[in-house]
């Protein structure tokens, strides 16, 4: 290739990149203009806000709808995840997720579903309310993180509404805002001041304040986001390895005795390293697309599977047509599910092998401890995907490699357990 050709190619690449950037910017159109009607601070009833903003409120109420997802994953029906993946019961043995682990549904059900969850009991702490309602603003104002250690029942009594308008909007200016203190602190430790975020960033942050991985600080039950080393599954795992704030484990596995971590809906972390996030696409672009009614443009507040609004959600950027898009999503999800199911089953086999080894009176204790560390990590790599809500779509590449690691580590855990028990490998 001549020097001239090389220069031309370089120039062309820059032009293509720039065009790509412009397309994404155009995709993210500015907010529709609305007349701002100031609402009293601390007003959490969406019906009151709805009088001022009827289009947004009408679409918000669609979240009461309960229907499956067109691809058969996710969806807004309250079904148990273990129906399709029975290995979950074995993998969460000894902790409440083995009793009740339902698929998520619309925001309007957040408080009701918390109240009805079999994972909740008289000993449950106020921290659980953090990602369910804007009342957390009041609780935090009154007692700082002290609210997290109060009995959940006491705070539930005062909580009259689930995720509503004040969760994401300043009631006087309608500007986007975040109120979850754990999110604000987690970002601050990464050097990010959320009060200085751009509008585009806020279109993701309002969701990320809840759709993120967390743990409870021992003693105080303060909610902490494990982000100090980064968002990748390996980075969060090594953060936990340092026993942050004295946190060692979420629970001890009933069969293998391994000190386990429970991953929680890491939608934001997974999404952040994927193609769409890197191209500047935000959660709201797909989950709150622009709609029109009577000539008025507004953001859909029917936050659900974008496959139910595929054209509005994707076609502002993609010209391939809805059939191609839904086929792509379905393919990604089918492949993720297969690998996730296999990895989950292998992790379950590892717990069983370790249990068997531990029952052997002559077991090699050091090797047994090694097998428990391996299964802890294997399960983390599986669960960080299984607990993510998009069945692979938010970041197909990272999800596939992570599940590959889960499988490999599960096999290593089985081999290690067999070694500990003195069972030779053929």
Whichever of 160 and 199 has its CB closer to ligand HEC, that residue is 199
Least spacing, CB of residue 343 vs ligand HEC, in Å = 19
Whichever of 74 and 253 has its CB closer to ligand HEC, that residue is 74
Whichever of 245 and 331 has its CB closer to ligand HEC, that residue is 331
Q: Are 351 and 258 in contact (CB under 8 A)?
A: yes
Least spacing, CB of residue 254 vs ligand HEC, in Å = 26
Please state the φ and ψ torsions of residue 117, each to the nearest 5 degrees.
-65, 135
Whichever of 109 and 237 has its CB closer to ligand HEC, that residue is 109
Least spacing, CB of residue 271 vs ligand HEC, in Å = 4
Question: How far is Cα 32 from Cα 173, in angstroms, rounded to an integer?
Answer: 14
Q: Are 322 and 302 in contact (CB under 8 A)?
A: no
Distances, alpha carbon 393 to alpha carbons 8, 359, 399, in Å:
36, 41, 9
Least spacing, CB of residue 356 vs ligand HEC, in Å = 36
Whichever of 357 and 391 has its CB closer to ligand HEC, that residue is 391
68: number of Cβ within 10 Å: 15
Please state the φ and ψ torsions of residue 124, each to the nearest 5 degrees.
-65, 145
Nearest-Å Rg of the Cα atoms of the chain is 23
**Euclidean distance between the first and the last CA atom of the chain, given in angstroms as a whole number:** 54
Least spacing, CB of residue 141 vs ligand HEC, in Å = 16
Least spacing, CB of residue 221 vs ligand HEC, in Å = 18
Whichever of 46 and 186 has its CB closer to ligand HEC, that residue is 46
Structure tokens at 61: 């109420």
Least spacing, CB of residue 285 vs ligand HEC, in Å = 4
Least spacing, CB of residue 139 vs ligand HEC, in Å = 13
157: number of Cβ within 10 Å: 9
Q: Which of 262, 247, 256 is nearest to 373 (CA)?
A: 256
Least spacing, CB of residue 233 vs ligand HEC, in Å = 16
Whichever of 50 and 244 has its CB closer to ligand HEC, that residue is 50
Whichever of 130 and 345 has its CB closer to ligand HEC, that residue is 130
Least spacing, CB of residue 421 vs ligand HEC, in Å = 41
Whichever of 14 and 279 has its CB closer to ligand HEC, that residue is 279
Least spacing, CB of residue 169 vs ligand HEC, in Å = 5
60: number of Cβ within 10 Å: 23
Whichever of 312 and 352 has its CB closer to ligand HEC, that residue is 312
Whichever of 283 and 350 has its CB closer to ligand HEC, that residue is 283
């Amino acid at each position: 290739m001549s020097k001239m050709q090389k220069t031309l190619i370089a120039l062309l690449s820059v032009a293509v990149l720039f065009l790509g950037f412009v397309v994404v910017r155009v995709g993210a159109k500015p907010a529709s203009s609305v007349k701002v009607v100031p609402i009293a601070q601390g007003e959490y009833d969406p019906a009151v806000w709805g009088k001022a903003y009827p289009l947004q409120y009408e679409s918000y109420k669609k979240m009461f709808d309960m229907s499956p997802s067109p691809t058969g994953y996710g969806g807004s029906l309250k079904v148990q995840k273990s129906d399709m993946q029975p290995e979950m019961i074995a993998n969460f043995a000894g902790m409440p997720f083995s009793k009740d682990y339902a698929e998520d549904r619309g925001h309007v059900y957040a408080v009701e579903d918390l109240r009805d969850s079999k994972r909740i009991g008289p000993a449950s702490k106020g921290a659980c309310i953090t990602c369910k309602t804007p009342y957390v603003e009041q609780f935090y104002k009154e007692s700082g993180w002290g609210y997290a250690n109060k009995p959940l029942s006491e705070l539930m009594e005062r909580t009259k509404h689930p995720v509503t308008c004040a969760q994401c909007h300043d009631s006087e200016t309608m500007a986007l805002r975040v109120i979850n203190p754990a999110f604000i602190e987690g970002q601050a430790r990464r050097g990010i001041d959320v009060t200085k975020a751009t509008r585009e960033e806020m279109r993701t942050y309002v969701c990320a304040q809840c759709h993120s991985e967390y743990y409870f600080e021992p003693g105080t039950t303060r909610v902490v986001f494990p982000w100090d080393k980064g968002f990748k599954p390996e980075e969060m795992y090594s953060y936990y390895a340092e026993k942050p704030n004295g946190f060692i484990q979420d629970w001890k596995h009933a069969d293998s005795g391994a000190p386990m971590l429970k991953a929680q809906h890491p939608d934001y972390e997974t999404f952040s390293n994927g193609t769409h996030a890197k191209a500047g696409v935000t959660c709201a672009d797909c989950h709150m697309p622009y709609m029109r009614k009577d000539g008025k443009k507004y953001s859909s507040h029917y936050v659900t599977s974008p496959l139910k609004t595929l054209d509005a959600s994707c076609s502002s950027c993609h010209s391939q047509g809805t059939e191609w898009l839904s086929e792509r999503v379905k393919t990604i999800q089918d492949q993720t599910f297969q690998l996730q199911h296999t990895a989950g089953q292998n992790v379950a086999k590892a717990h069983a092998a370790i249990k068997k080894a531990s029952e052997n009176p002559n077991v090699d204790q050091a090797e047994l401890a090694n097998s428990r560390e391996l299964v802890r990590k294997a399960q983390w790599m599986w669960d960080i995907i299984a607990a993510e809500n998009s069945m692979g779509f938010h970041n197909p590449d990272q999800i596939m490699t992570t599940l590959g690691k889960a499988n490999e580590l599960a096999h290593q855990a089985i081999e290690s357990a067999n070694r500990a028990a003195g069972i030779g490998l053929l």
